[in-house]
Amino acid sequence: MRRSIRNILGLAAASAVIAVGVPAIASSASAATATKTASASSYDYDDYWGYYYSKYYDGSRAKAKGHVWEDEDGRFHVEGKLYDKYSPGWLCGYVQVKFENEDGDDSTYWAKKCGSSGYRSFHFAEEDVDNIQVRVCYYDNHHGTKKYCGRWNYVYETDSE
């Protein structure tokens, strides 16, 4: 009999905690959402992208992820992290970021990460941008060439109206 009373009292106490705690959790979650929305609205465009991958080489792939946004002056920024895990020493992770304007002129930037410990951060910016693409490859240090590239991924495109 004592065990069942303890179970009932425990259940009642747990119900009371849930009844009191759920509104507090809901209000803090909505406050966090409002804060994130307010900070994101300070940019005309703000989005996260990735992971994007290179093609496989011997069971390993380079990968990258990041963030793209437009600042108050109309410059577009692409920043991210490039990882190179488990590749042989002569291959390095390699990310390319291509900014293209409405005339079809493009500017391509790159970052390289060799070795499997950690990541390499990158940040590029351009003005007068209609679209931005990212792709991840391996870079062959012996031959000085890109290899095993993944596909180009659009991380920003202007609205075509």
Question: Average pLDDT over the chain, rounded to whole?
Answer: 81
Whether the predicted pLDDT of 50 surpasses 80: yes
Are the CB atoms for 130 and 105 separated by under 8 Å? no
Per-residue pLDDT, averaged over 49-74, amounts to: 95
pLDDT, tens digit, for every residue of 101-130? 999 999 999 999 998 889 999 999 999 999
CA nearest neighbour of 71 among 33, 125, 107, 109:
125
Indicate if the pLDDT at residue 54 is higher than 60: yes
Residues listed for the chain: 161
Lowest mean pLDDT among 9-23, 34-48, 122-136: 9-23
Q: CB of 69 within 8 A of CB of 56?
A: no
User: Once rounded to an integer, what is the mean pLDDT over residues 74-87?
Assistant: 94
Which residues contact residue 18 at a Cβ distance below 8 angstroms, ignoring those fewer than 6 apart? Answer: none
pLDDT per residue as tens digits for the range 66-80: 999 999 999 999 999
The pLDDT value given to residue 37: 39
Task: Summarize the confidence of residues 1-10 as an average pLDDT.
Answer: 49
Tell me if 68 sits within 8 A of 78, measured CB to CB: yes
Q: pLDDT confidence of 10, banded at 50, 70, 90?
A: low
